[in-house]
Amino acid sequence: MNGPFDLDLRHKDVTRGVGAVYSSYTHLMTMLAQGWEIEPPIYVRPRSHSLLRSRKENIYHFILWHGDRVGVVSVLDCQEIRQFLVDKEFPVDRL
C-alpha cells in the first residue's frame, strides 16, 4: 500500500458505500502506527441517506501526512472514533 488513495477494497477494514469508500477506525489506527500523521482539524459531515441504512450518520474526514505524501481517509461514525477525537483533543469542523 502506497498511501490512503491506494486502498485495497478487499481489506476487511474498508467498507464500500454507495459511491464512496470508507475506512474503519482500525484502518486509521494502522496507518497512524505506520507513521502517518493527522493534520487537524478533522472534518465531519452527515452521511447522505443510503439505501443500506435507515438512519443518518456522520463521516469523519482525516487529512494524513507521511513525509511528502498526503491523503484523505474517511471513517464512518462509531464510538471508537468519537472517543479517539475526545482523547486526542483534535478540533472538529462541521461541513
- What does the pLDDT read at residue 47? 77
What is the per-residue pLDDT for 6? 45
Q: What's the pTM?
A: 0.73
Per DSSP, the residues of 41-60 read EEEEEEPPP-SS-SS--EEE
Q: Residue 53's pLDDT is what? A: 53
Task: Give the model confidence (pLDDT) of 50-94 as tens digits.
Answer: 555 545 689 999 999 999 999 899 999 999 999 999 999 999 999
Dihedral sign for Cα 14, 17, 22, 24, please: negative
Name the residue ranges covered by the structural domains of the chain. Answer: 4-94
Which helix or strand (DSSP H or E) is residue 64 part of? strand 58-66
CA distance 70 to 67: 8
Cell of 9: 477494497
